[in-house]
A and B are shown apart, each in its own frame.
Chain A
Amino acid sequence: MGRYLLRRLLQLIPVFIGTTFMIYALVWKVPGDPFAGKCGDRGCPDNFRALMTEKYQLDQSIWVQYASYMKNLFQGDFGITFSGRPINDIIATSYPNTLKLAVVALTIEAVIGLGAGVLTGLRRNGFMDNLVLVSTLFLIALPVFVIGFVLQWLFGVKWHIVNPTVSNEMRISELILPGFVLGSASMAYIARVARTSIAENRRADYVRTAIAKGLPMRRVVGVHLLRNSLIPVVTLLGTDLGALMGGAIITEGIFGINGIGRQVLRAIVTKESATVVSIVVVLVLVYLLMNLLVDLLYAALDPRIRYE
């Protein structure tokens, strides 16, 4: 296990370096003037230029720049906005909100996706099955912002069931609709994966054994069938937490949630590329680490997997 972890971490390093280097180069090197479009419409103030040039050694070669950028990053310093606000601050205030939204989304997609998947996996070709298959196709095919707007309009504007936007308190009840929207595509994937997985395992020999042992149907399905079928689903859910936080940009924008994605949007609009990139790097990091975590989780769930 330890060796496996080490190997996975080692594999992560080139991907991480490649990704961050690419992002860094795109932001500070490719545009020509590193400060073009970094500071809104008025251009960058001189002290910001001086500070950044010193901090990231922008007058040096790209390799030196990248090295000093990474050095700062590993010290937990994500840089400052041109108005002088540390990006760490922005992340610290908005990240918990995004995390909260992502967790709500994950819960919703797990409950609904799994429920639909298990139900249709056990009873295929019925009305429910076709309904779920068609609706999952919709959820997968449609861009999140379309689903978001339509649901926001229906539930928030037309039927007045919920507030169209989320208040700063971030109550759980307010987060259900945005959470549903954010998790919609993954929900569909989970439903489909769970369905296939259940349907495949339903005829497995060990399920037959469990029935032959005279276990009640509840236990055959709930313990023997589910435990095996859930392995791919849990994997999917794990990978998703990282993806959800990266994907929250659109949902947060639609529902006015003060999360990290909203900060990215704001930075895009106010033209602060440095901020955009810093936050994106954080999100990519989370995403990569979550994938690693899922691999380890997989090992815990399936005793057959030996990581040597």
Chain B
Amino acid sequence: MSDILVSEQSAPGFGGSGRPSGRLLEVEDLRVEFRTRDGVAKVINGVTYHVDAGETLAVLGESGSGKSVTAQTIMGILDTPPGFVTGGQVRFHGKDMLRMSAEERRRIRGEGIAMIFQDSLSALNPVFTVGFQIAEQFRVRRGMSRADAKKRAIEMLDQVKIPNAKGRFSNYPHQFSGGMRQRAMIAMSLALDPEVLIADEPTTALDVTVQAQIMDLLGELQRERRMGMILITHDLGVVADVADRIAVMYAGRIVEEANVYELYRKPAHPYTLGLLDSIPRMDEKGQELRTIKGLPPNLMNIPPGCPFNPRCPMAQPVCREKVPPLLQVGTSRASACHFAEELVNRD
């Protein structure tokens, strides 16, 4: 409890009970399943990733790949039931959050790790003003007076470049445009100065032009505040400019992790290759859009071996038998493919 209070004032560096690795946020071998009436769906099957201060990790994957569920598990907002964490660790400053008391976890939310949701219209409470929802955090978490909290909330709205922040304070979410609402959402998540920001598809619900503005804003705020950021997206176009590293998820696993440049230059996993190939390109006008054949696997019945093998153009017998582990390929990247070396070394 006391160490958490310390963390409220000065950001980094309180030692946790786990292995101190100096990392800000680490997910290790996380496993989550959904127990439904029709059976058990293994949604997360051993996800490992980390993010450090001042760094942006993009988590990329199709819907259903488990990227959002991982984020929800980190935040502790997984719907239980049906979702259950069955294994792994989520370490914040080296301390496993999954073993913390509810109260400890609550204190990390908002000022240790904060989250931006995809659909700002439903993520903001419709019956309270936007200002109230931002000021609320200053009042509840910082014990500020109503007037002070309001002042700080208006400052936050200002910081995310909402024009006429003072006037907008007392507007309701539905009175904002989509882009403005997402800005308000960002202001709300940054109110308590978090060390890690999880942005769950922050621009999916927005127009293309607004998307770019929001991504720019996020990148700017992240650099200013030296936050660690986890950017969840299925949109390869969004990641390139903002992310430092990319983790590609498929069927509840990380199948490839690399820095942006390497990943775009030479993917080390056929799934990533397929994703990159399916981006429409200006120089191939008139050609048929390439897609990855087949559908993501049924998570209640994941095929044996590599989960991608039924869709993989280079699948071999070994792919149907052995699950490829996520292994280092070269110096700074990892891939979960039996033929990762071949992929990287071809020209």
Contact = CB atoms under 8 A, between A and B. Distances in A.
Interface string B132-152: 000011001100000000000
B117 A208 contact: yes
B125 A213 contact: no
Interface string B193-235: 0000000000000000000000000000000000000000000
Interface string B111-129: 1001101010011111110
Contacts of A206: 122-126
B5 to A, nearest CB: 14
A304 B174 contact: yes
B181 to A, nearest CB: 12
A231 B128 CA distance: 13
Interface stretch (A26-34, A58-66, A145-153, A214-222): A214-222
Nearest to A211: B77
Contacts of A211: 75-77, 109
Given A205-B122, A208-B123, A214 B108 contact: yes
Nearest to B121: A205
B10 to A, nearest CB: 18
B109 A214 contact: yes
Nearest to A303: B172
Interface string B83-102: 00000000000000000001
B321 interface: no
Contacts, number: 79
B123 A303 contact: no
Given A204-B122, A213-B136, A303 B77 contact: no
A213 B132 CA distance: 13
A209 interface: yes
Contact of B114 (A203, A212, A216): A212
Given A208-B117, A303-B172, A304-B172, A213 B124 contact: no
B74 to A, nearest CB: 10
Given A213-B137, A214-B110, A216-B140, A303 B127 contact: yes
Contact of A303 (B76, B107, B111, B126): B126
A303 B131 CA distance: 14
Interface string A294-307: 00000001111000
Contact of B123 (A205, A219, A228): A205
A224 interface: yes
A242 B137 CA distance: 41
A209 B106 contact: no
Interface residues of B, number: 31
A37 B34 CA distance: 70
A205 B205 CA distance: 15
A210 interface: yes
Contacts of B106: 214-217
B109 A209 contact: no
A301 B127 contact: yes
Contacts of B111: 214
B340 interface: no
Contact of B127 (A213, A214, A302): A302
Interface in A262-280: none
A301 B128 CA distance: 10
B117 A227 contact: no
A212 B77 contact: yes
A206 B125 CA distance: 5
Contact of B192 (A214, A228, A302): A214
B251 interface: no
B327 to A, nearest CB: 34
Contact of A209 (B125, B140, B172, B174): B125
Contacts of A304: 126-127, 172, 174
Contacts of B102: 217
Contacts of A301: 127
Contact of A210 (B122, B125, B126): B125
Nearest to A201: B125
A205 B174 CA distance: 15
B79 interface: yes
B188 interface: yes
Nearest to A224: B125
Contacts of A217: 102, 106
Contacts of B107: 214
Contacts of B125: 206, 209-210, 224, 227-228
Return the 5 tightest CB-CB contacts between A and B, nearest first.
Answer: A214-B110, A214-B109, A205-B122, A206-B125, A205-B123
24 contacts: A203-B79, A206-B125, A206-B126, A209-B117, A209-B123, A212-B75, A213-B109, A213-B110, A213-B136, A214-B107, A214-B108, A214-B109, A214-B111, A214-B137, A214-B141, A215-B110, A215-B136, A217-B102, A228-B125, A231-B127, A302-B127, A303-B126, A303-B174, A304-B126
Interface of A: 203-206, 208-217, 219, 224, 227-228, 231, 301-304
Interface of B: 75-77, 79, 102, 106-111, 114-115, 117, 119, 122-128, 136-137, 140-141, 172, 174, 188-189, 192
